[in-house]
Chain A
Amino acid sequence: MNRRVVVTGLGVVAPNGIGIPSFLEAIKNGVSGVKFIPRYKELNFNCQVSGFPDFLFDDLRNYLPETIFHGLKSGGIGYGIKAAADAWIDAGNDLQHDEPRWETGCVFGNSVADSELIKQVIIKVDGKEARKLGSRMVEQVMLSGVSAYIEGMLGLGNKVITNSAACATGTQAILMGYEYIKYGMAERMIAGSSEHVDQYIFGAFDSMRILPRKNNDEPEKASRPMSSSASGFVPGSGAAALVLEDLDFALKRNATIYAEILGGTSNSGGQKCGGSMTAPNPDGVIKCISQALLQSNVSPGAIDLISGHLTATAADKSEIGNWATALQRSGKDFPKINSLKSMIGHCLSAAGSIESVAVILQILYQFVHPNINLEDPNPLITDIIDESCMPVKFENAGINIVAKANFGFGDVNSCVIFSKFNKT
């Protein structure tokens, strides 16, 4: 069986744009979605900025019956529903359907259940009022809540899975969706991820002292991947979804094809040889990238663009080194590389899916989005790759093949290879 897997629908809820047209404009123009959060100042957080989408919860009334909308409170589930519904409609499908769609499934990831809602549970239970929690709490604090809501909205009848691999979640979800189609288990999959960083999750990251604290008065400058002044990652919230389809299935229904997924790999560095819970083993990263290329039948020289993980910590330099080793390319020979996180911060579980939507748009419209806040590239990075590989302005470019990778806590890695769609 040699099935090809294509992308036919996109949906996004990003800190710098909700919906594809607004997100596309934002990433072309280097628009930041990082904002000062007054509440974080009140809470004495060191970092008081975050990437937050201008999301209107009421917008979900356009997608959900009132009986489902009423009582829905989880931010992460809300973002996921919006992204998945938009992707589904973008792919040319109707939301309404009476029978289960047996050929279509969903892999949608996230990292933590809504801790604001868990707090409500704790308050009610400790106040001996558990009976007042009602019927809608369990479904929204279960990790599979987001994929369950998407499944119900679209009537999906194939595999419905929630994956979780920290910051590698989104890329891994896309890879899993790809694999189910590639190996004939489904004709079509909704793949994506969502993340709602509320104050409790944010506070736990803040305590690790890995978030920037010097840019609270100029939030749009706080996320500075690959720069000398990078001082930590800016947590962000949002979601994105892709509709993945078997090529023949897509052609049969005359779908518009945005890109093809050639393959990918998800692995772990085993938290050995320099790897730990919070840092990747370089050998694991290099192996992940190399195997993704091998699996996709793509030579390292064919990569036009890397969509990096690049969170704006000391790990950026090691990441660039790992890419250079895996591709055996450096200096001016290195591909273009960018980090969407410079504009939206690090959307954790949602990073991989939002960044993959950005990758597909760059393939579709043949450009490289700028790295903002990169006035002062880290010399340890420019020792490895030429400065011109890290565009700081919008560039028109022939983008055929893109490598997208994310690396997460637990020393887990995921790399997906996207390509421009050519029918033959």
Chain B
Amino acid sequence: MNRHEALNEFKKVLAPYTLHKEKLDTIGDDTDLVKDLQINSANLVDIIIDAENNYHIEIDNDSVEKMYNVGSCLDVILKKINEKNA
């Protein structure tokens, strides 16, 4: 899975947690989940659980702490996918 494909998958993961659907079309690495997409910060754990199910990966606690914007989320997700396939 390349970064572009991972981003498209990630938009589906984020969709139920934001009311600003129109912003999902234009998200990029710098998009902040809480500030830009107005996602309730309590839901970040749900997004991680959904991402784990969606990409069939496990995300450890240290990695979770690095996930705050779209770019950092994709970094972790792609790293975990690569580790799994290695």
Contact = CB atoms under 8 A, between A and B. Distances in A.
Interface string A123-150: 0000000011011100000000000000
A136 B40 contact: no
Interface residues of B, number: 12
Interface stretch (A62-70, A106-114, A414-422): A62-70
Nearest to A133: B49
A71 interface: yes
B17 A67 contact: yes
Contact of A135 (B16, B18, B46, B52): B46
Interface in A34-91: 65-67, 70-71
Contact of B16 (A66, A132, A134): A66
B6 to A, nearest CB: 21
Chain B contact residues: helix, strand, loop or mixed: helix
Contacts of B49: 131-132, 134
A67 B19 contact: yes
Nearest to A71: B46
A134 B45 CA distance: 6
B82 interface: no
Contact of B42 (A66, A131, A135): A135
A67 B45 CA distance: 14
Contacts of A132: 49, 52
A67 B46 contact: no
B20 to A, nearest CB: 10
B8 interface: no
Contacts of B42: 135
Q: How large is the interface on A (under 10, 10 to 19, 20 to 34, 35 or more residues)?
A: 10 to 19
B75 to A, nearest CB: 21
B46 A136 contact: yes
A63 to B, nearest CB: 15
Contacts of B40: 67
B43 interface: yes
Nearest to B64: A131
Contacts of A71: 16, 46
A71 B45 CA distance: 13
Interface in A342-369: none
A284 to B, nearest CB: 44
Contacts of A131: 49
A65 B40 CA distance: 13
A135 B45 contact: yes
B3 to A, nearest CB: 26
Interface in B7-24: 16-19
A70 B18 CA distance: 10
Contacts of A135: 42-43, 45-46
Interface string A229-260: 00000000000000000000000000000000
Contacts of A67: 16-19, 39-40, 43
Interface of A: 65-67, 70-71, 131-132, 134-136
24 contacts: A65-B19, A66-B16, A66-B19, A67-B16, A67-B17, A67-B18, A67-B19, A67-B39, A67-B40, A67-B43, A70-B16, A70-B17, A71-B16, A71-B46, A131-B49, A132-B49, A132-B52, A134-B45, A134-B46, A134-B49, A135-B42, A135-B43, A135-B46, A136-B46
A-B interface, 9 closest residue pairs, ranked by CB to CB distance from nearest: A70-B16, A135-B42, A134-B46, A135-B45, A134-B49, A135-B46, A132-B49, A67-B17, A65-B19
